[in-house]
């Protein structure tokens, strides 16, 4: 009996990368009539979280997973930043990955491996088994374009002055160096910076680059990437987005949330979320931790008396919120977001304008893209003296985006509605993202 085509996918540790990988895999198997099987091989530096397990336990029949043996945490220095910790974990998992791919190759018709950007060190595994290799870039095309030109920027020394700007192919506005992703803001001798540059050089060695975006959202950047592929023989680029969750996996707060939202007038609610790991500084909000620790009661992070003062006007959920359902609810008028790419795409798909409050990673870059290029968000200004965003400034931008009185604000609402419609078209039959997706899968099936 002929074996189904098998694709191995290697997400990096963390829900923000696992979720789009899972949604992408679902689309692969669901749109190809069970001709393709997907296996996740997942590196980890700790026990899987309950959220991770809840996602993996409801995978469709043609998707399975193996959580690779946990790396020895003692092999990782205690002072590593998050990006380096994830990269080191993926690298230390290479022997386990090699063993898993050996087994998978003997049991299935394995034809390709799809890597996360943090697991590029595993490229040699694909080469050894003569498999096609792809990067699934879970962020946007502008960041991918930046990553591809990073080695050149490094050689030119363009990133050493935070007050300068750099031009990125396919983006109509220059980016201030200080707004670039965190890893490239380290000293050039720093391990995180060095790996980021080396990772960018490695991108050209893959057979293809899959990116979670669509033409109407980042058309200029996608065109620049296609042009680079044709003129410089760089990997083929497949814009297949928007790939988002269609429903939230956690159900614990869903009914409380939705019941409260049902009582609110249309477009009257501001939804605020800083993602799975984002927090504000102690001065900005009474808290200074990020993926370091957690108080027993998350509400203790809020200013004293906050819940009592706001209980007649708002609702605070202390753990996971069903974000997809919330953003799709008619009472939501705007989204105050940390500008993570998953949240951006979910907001765009549901036609919700944003208030950009970036915190870390590539989020400052995303905020510039949202406010100055795509123009579907507003961003509060930082006070020059304190370095904080004053409450009056936050109130100002909230009022602006919720009430939308002037022409610029009305244009934001119109543009996000148009992008929402375009997102649906992109992944529908004959849409731009669906065509890119189909060409990629056809390549896998014809091997």
What pLDDT, in 10s, does the model give residues 208-241? 999 999 999 999 999 999 999 999 888 999 999 9
The DSSP code sequence of 46-109 is: SPPPHHHHHHHTT--TTEEEEEPPPP-GGGS-TT--HHHHHHHHHHHTHHHHHHHHHHHHHHSE
Name the band, by pLDDT with cuts 50, 70 and 90, for residue 79.
confident
Q: Are residues 169 and 139 in the same domain?
A: yes
Q: Are residues 10 and 37 in the same domain?
A: yes
pLDDT in tens, 285-330: 445 333 334 445 667 767 777 778 887 788 888 777 889 999 999 9
Name the band, by pLDDT with cuts 50, 70 and 90, for residue 429.
very high
Sheet holding 269-273, edge to edge: 269-273, 332-337, 354-356, 377-378
CB contact at 8 A, 273 and 359: no
When pLDDT is averaged across residues 327-353 and rounded to a whole number, the result is 97
What pLDDT is stored for residue 160 in this prediction? 92
Q: Are residues 229 and 330 in the same domain?
A: no
Q: Are residues 182 and 79 in the same domain?
A: yes
What pLDDT is stored for residue 15 in this prediction? 84
Q: Are residues 35 and 62 in the same domain?
A: yes
The catalytic residue positions are 17, 116
Q: Are residues 439 and 403 in the same domain?
A: no
Residue 79 burial by Cβ neighbours in a 10 Å radius (0-12, 13-18, 19+) = exposed
What are the start-end ranges of the E strands in 121-254?
Answer: 132-137, 165-166, 175-176, 208-211, 236-239
- Residue 343's domain comprises 254-424
What pLDDT is stored for residue 281 in this prediction? 46
Q: Are residues 140 and 62 in the same domain?
A: yes
d(CA 107, CA 86): 29
Q: Are residues 399 and 441 in the same domain?
A: no
Q: Are residues 385 and 431 in the same domain?
A: no
Coil, strand or helix at 243? coil
Count of CB atoms situated within 10 Å of the CB of 59: 16
Q: Are residues 237 and 378 in the same domain?
A: no
Is the pLDDT score of 405 beyond 60?
yes
Is the pLDDT score of 282 beyond 70?
no
- Residue scoring higher pLDDT (188 or 1): 188
Is the pLDDT score of 278 beyond 80?
no
d(CA 438, CA 429): 10
Residues 6+ apart with CB under 8 A from 430: none
Name the least confident of 2-16, 54-68, 325-339, 413-427: 2-16
Q: Are residues 35 and 83 in the same domain?
A: yes
Backbone angles phi, psi at 377, to 5 degrees: -150, 160
pTM of the full structure: 0.92
Name the least confident of 247-256, 266-275, 364-373, 377-386: 247-256
Is the pLDDT score of 77 beyond 70?
yes
Domains: count for the chain: 2
Is the pLDDT score of 86 beyond 50?
yes
What pLDDT is stored for residue 291 in this prediction? 38
d(CA 266, CA 245): 23
Percent share of the chain, pLDDT over 90:
68
Question: Is the bond preceding residue 242 a cis peptide, omega within 30 degrees?
Answer: yes
What pLDDT is stored for residue 11 in this prediction? 94
Sheet holding 236-239, edge to edge: 63-67, 36-42, 5-10, 109-115, 132-137, 208-211, 236-239
pLDDT in tens, 139-185: 999 999 999 999 999 999 999 999 999 999 999 999 999 999 999 99
When pLDDT is averaged across residues 352-381 and rounded to a whole number, the result is 96
When pLDDT is averaged across residues 35-44 and rounded to a whole number, the result is 95
Is the pLDDT score of 73 beyond 90?
no
When pLDDT is averaged across residues 90-105 and rounded to a whole number, the result is 95
For position 366, which CATH number holds? 3.40.50.2000
Name the band, by pLDDT with cuts 50, 70 and 90, for residue 2.
low
What pLDDT is stored for residue 296 in this prediction? 57
Q: What is the mean pLDDT of the chain?
A: 89
- Residue scoring higher pLDDT (237 or 33): 237
Q: Are residues 106 and 214 in the same domain?
A: yes
Name the band, by pLDDT with cuts 50, 70 and 90, for residue 284.
very low
What pLDDT is stored for residue 343 in this prediction? 96
């Amino acid at each position: 009996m002929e074996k189904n085509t098998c694709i191995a996918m290697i997400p990096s540790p963390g829900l923000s990368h696992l979720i789009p990988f899972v949604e992408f895999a679902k689309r692969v198997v669901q749109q190809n009539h069970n001709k393709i099987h997907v296996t996740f091989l997942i590196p980890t530096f700790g026990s899987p979280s309950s959220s991770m397990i809840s996602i993996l336990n409801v995978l469709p029949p043609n998707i399975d997973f193996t959580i690779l043996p946990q790396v020895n945490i003692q092999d990782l220095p205690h002072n590593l930043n998050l990006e380096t910790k994830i990269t080191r974990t993926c690298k230390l998992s290479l022997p386990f990955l090699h063993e898993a791919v050996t087994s998978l190759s003997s049991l299935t018709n394995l034809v390709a491996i799809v890597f996360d950007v943090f697991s590029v060190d595993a490229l040699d595994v694909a080469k050894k088994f003569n498999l096609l290799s792809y990067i699934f870039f879970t962020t946007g095309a502008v960041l991918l374009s930046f990553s591809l030109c990073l080695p050149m920027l490094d050689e030119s020394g363009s990133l050493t002055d935070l007050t300068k700007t750099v031009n990125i192919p396919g983006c109509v506005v220059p980016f201030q160096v200080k707004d670039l992703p965190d890893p490239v803001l380290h000293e050039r001798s720093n391990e995180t910076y060095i790996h980021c540059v080396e990772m960018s050089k490695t991108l050209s060695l893959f057979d293809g680059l899959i990116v979670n975006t669509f033409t109407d959202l980042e058309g200029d950047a996608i065109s620049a990437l296609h042009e680079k592929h044709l003129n410089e023989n760089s990997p083929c680029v497949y814009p297949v987005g928007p790939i988002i969750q269609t429903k939230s996996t956690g159900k614990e707060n869903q009914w409380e949330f939705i019941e409260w939202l049902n009582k609110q007038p249309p477009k009257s609610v501001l939804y605020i979320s800083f993602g799975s790991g984002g927090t504000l500084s102690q001065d900005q909000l009474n808290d200074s931790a990020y993926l370091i620790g957690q108080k027993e009661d998350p509400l203790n992070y809020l200013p004293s008396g906050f819940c009592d003062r706001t209980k007649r006007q708002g609702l605070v959920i202390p753990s996971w919120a069903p974000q997809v359902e919330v953003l799709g609810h008619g009472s939501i008028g705007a989204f105050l977001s940390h500008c993570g790419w998953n949240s951006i795409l979910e907001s765009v798909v549901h036609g919700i304008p944003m208030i950009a409050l970036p915190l870390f990673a590539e989020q400052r870059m995303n905020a510039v893209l949202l406010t100055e290029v795509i123009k579907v968000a507003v961003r509060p200004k930082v006070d020059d003296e304190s370095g904080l965003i004053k409450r009056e400034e936050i109130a100002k931008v909230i009022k602006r985006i919720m009430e939308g009185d002037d022409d610029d604000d009305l244009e934001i609402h119109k543009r996000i509605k148009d992008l929402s419609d375009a997102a649906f078209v992109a992944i529908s039959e004959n849409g731009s993202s669906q065509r890119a997706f189909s060409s990629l899968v056809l390549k896998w099936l014809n091997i």
